[in-house]
A and B are shown apart, each in its own frame.
Chain A
């Protein structure tokens, strides 16, 4: 009897809170969990995004940085929070793609989350020093076949490295790969003569115009921003038909799975502002952007990344089985 009463009371309470939450969402500040430390590129974009979405929703969105632990600590903190739409997650290639593919993680990006928006993106390009004797991708292929070139990437297993690995296996090349921690560090390593070639992002060229030259774009799908940064530079597939070297770098927002549909819909409506040119104009230079909106479209985008990286990581023996 008592048990029944308790259960009834519990149900009523649940119904009540759920009802008011739905009616009034959002009625209190929202937390946005970022798995990177404050001050980095990812954090900067998260904060600008939070500001724009917060204006739409009418409540503050507080950015909380939870760096470290291979992004798992931050991701799990969202999984462990209630599915009420008051905890958002800024997902990124490590938390939603590379780490779940290479590690046993206590979460599943597709089952534990509802990703509904993607914005920040990047594509990679292969660079050499401005005074390098290598001028074209064809000359590069010859040089790389003649001797093992030193290849600079930011981190092993990160997208620039994976693009380089795919290119190497497509053309049967071998490199001495050096990880230099960040993309600007790989490029200065290139300028300083530490490495012969380096993979950077397409936008990287803007900061080093006179010191480096691009050879090829490491992306299978041509994006509008390619011409803006690297006019006239070909992708691998355009240079050598039939060959591929892809990249998957996207970041966006997700809520925990189980969040009521009405709340997800409100969030999708509010994030429509991120597709406007006015918002995109506020992004720092060097951030490339491709607006993908809605749970289905973002789900397809994530699947395309899994399809691209699984075989590459498997080839490296890094795929979590």
Chain B
């Protein structure tokens, strides 16, 4: 199966000084962009894309992959240290990560997130290297009916876990879905809530909206209360990488989250944010003390952070083997391949095994170097707490505004950023959680499209609508997830009512 000559060439490609330089530069650039709210992995890769014009395929792809990995990890640094996710992938990390930071265990939280990210990244690369073709054949079985099942599953499970109460979570999740119906109806061209402006033809843009909901609302909330300086002792500023004992305790969590992230990454269109939420909700569901999630516990950081980096390797599986990007960032990567005269797809493996092996080896190297560079970076991040919030908050706001404008060259998107911020502020002031809003907004388009296409496919037949073994499996898992708590309580003879979700 392995072409040893190609592996040799790949190794030689990788130890080239320029490639190594690109690898380190990519990690640094990715970290910075990941930390900044509003600039996520797709944007980070797009920014670097023009520079790859003049490079050979291997260094240019290594540069972009390093950016991709580091940006997803970088988002967790701001999520933990400021409470604002630097990327959508880190939304789930805010809950426990920032809570832990505020308790004076910031260094520990940052260390957990780094370790989880690296392990998740490495596991997904192993999956990519060894079983990509097999996994890709499963991914192509996902059609409208399967996507419908997975988005229903995602919405219910995630909303149930992310919010304080199921009813409130569903309400806000529904609001998120409603907002995704704005824009042109893709199936018949009807204008829905476009308010006479063509800017809304393609709906509310995702990134400005999510950054608004998180970053701007956080600034607004922060602005209205007296910002008191929290006193931290030296220990809370010291970064600690979890020891073997802690890792052994978290080993089930890390394994499951790595696999969840890889699988979600493989499914086209589902990005790192969804993977992180799935892993978080799965760990919360399995936990013996789910009520402690959100209060700042290691499990709540490790699960989403392991999973979101695991989506990188996962997303590359359909990208490289089918030419279908597994995530928005992978879609931009596809462009980089085209620039290099490489067409990702089933034939690339046979034609350029040297390039494929260079990428696999490169991904290992990226994850390992990210550990060391990340350790330096979080030492600075841990000290962020020394900077008064009155300085951090306006800086975050300024960066969000410039970032959003720079990427789209559109003032309208800056308006969306503000609007999202006000909406997020209102939602939080009313005592609702914004995480279900975001999940609704991310999954809404997939839900609507897959539902309507499933109806087209079924052509009036209910049996045909549910003629999907994979989909039925997902529905069964959903039923089990929802009913398992009450059933097991009944079996144990405990009263089933009154438990907090």
Contact = CB atoms under 8 A, between A and B. Distances in A.
Interface stretch (B123-131, B330-338, B377-385): B330-338
B486 to A, nearest CB: 36
B202 A70 contact: yes
Contact of A188 (B49, B184, B322, B456): B322
Given A38-B335, A69-B199, A318-B189, A178 B457 contact: yes
Interface stretch (B15-23, B32-40, B137-145, B237-245): B137-145
Interface string B328-367: 0001111110110101111100000000000000000000
Contacts of B140: 188-189, 191-192
A207 B459 contact: no
Contacts of A106: 198
Contact of B201 (A40, A72, A157): A72
A69 B198 contact: yes
Nearest to A283: B341
A309 to B, nearest CB: 14
Contact of B346 (A41, A155, A208): A208
A72 B42 CA distance: 23
Nearest to B411: A73
A272 interface: no
B11 interface: no
B331 A39 contact: yes
With most chain A CB atoms within 10 A of its CB, the pick from B187, B201, B457 is B201
Contact of A39 (B205, B332, B413): B332
Nearest to B322: A188
Contacts of B53: 47, 51
B481 interface: no
Contacts of B49: 38-39
A222 interface: no
Nearest to B347: A207
A177 B141 CA distance: 18
A176 B456 contact: yes
Contacts of A51: 53
Contacts of A191: 140
B453 interface: yes
Contacts of B202: 68-70
Contacts of B50: 47, 63
A185 B267 CA distance: 12
A80 interface: no
A47 B53 CA distance: 9
Contacts of A103: 198, 201
B402 interface: no
Given A39-B335, A69-B412, A73-B412, A284 B343 contact: yes
Interface string B397-415: 0000000000011101100
A285 interface: yes
A318 B188 CA distance: 8
B198 A105 contact: yes
Interface in B40-97: 42, 45-47, 49-50, 53
A102 to B, nearest CB: 6
Contacts of B344: 207
Interface range on chain A (Cβ under 8 Å from partner): 35 or more
Contacts of B343: 206-207, 284-286
B408 A176 contact: no
B456 A182 contact: no
A15 interface: no
A67 B345 contact: no
B396 to A, nearest CB: 24
Interface in A181-231: 181-182, 184-185, 188-189, 191-195, 206-211
A321 B199 CA distance: 21
A150 interface: yes
Given A64-B409, A70-B198, A156 B457 contact: no
B376 to A, nearest CB: 30
A67 B341 CA distance: 24
Contacts of A63: 50
Nearest to B409: A66
Contacts of B347: 206-209
Given A69-B412, A207-B346, A207-B347, A284 B201 contact: no
A70 B199 CA distance: 8
A155 B141 CA distance: 20
Contacts of B184: 70
Contacts of A48: 339
A17 interface: no
B457 A284 contact: no
A106 B197 CA distance: 10
Contact of B408 (A44, A66, A210): A66
A145 interface: no
Contacts of B46: 37-39, 65
Contacts of B198: 69-70, 72-73, 103, 105-106
B186 interface: yes
Nearest to A43: B335
Nearest to B191: A103
B408 A68 contact: yes
A243 interface: no
Interface of B: 42, 45-47, 49-50, 53, 140-144, 184, 186-189, 198-202, 205, 268-269, 318, 322-324, 331-336, 338-339, 341, 343-347, 408-410, 412-413, 449, 453, 456-457, 459
20 contacts: A38-B46, A38-B335, A39-B49, A39-B331, A66-B410, A67-B408, A70-B202, A105-B198, A177-B456, A178-B456, A185-B324, A188-B140, A188-B318, A192-B143, A193-B141, A193-B143, A207-B344, A208-B347, A284-B339, A286-B338
Given A38-B335, A148-B459, A184-B323, 14 more contacts: A48-B339, A66-B408, A73-B198, A73-B199, A157-B189, A178-B453, A179-B186, A179-B187, A184-B345, A192-B141, A207-B345, A211-B346, A284-B338, A286-B343
Query: Top 8 A-B pairs ranked by shortest CB distance?
Result: A39-B335, A192-B140, A207-B345, A194-B143, A39-B332, A70-B201, A38-B46, A72-B198
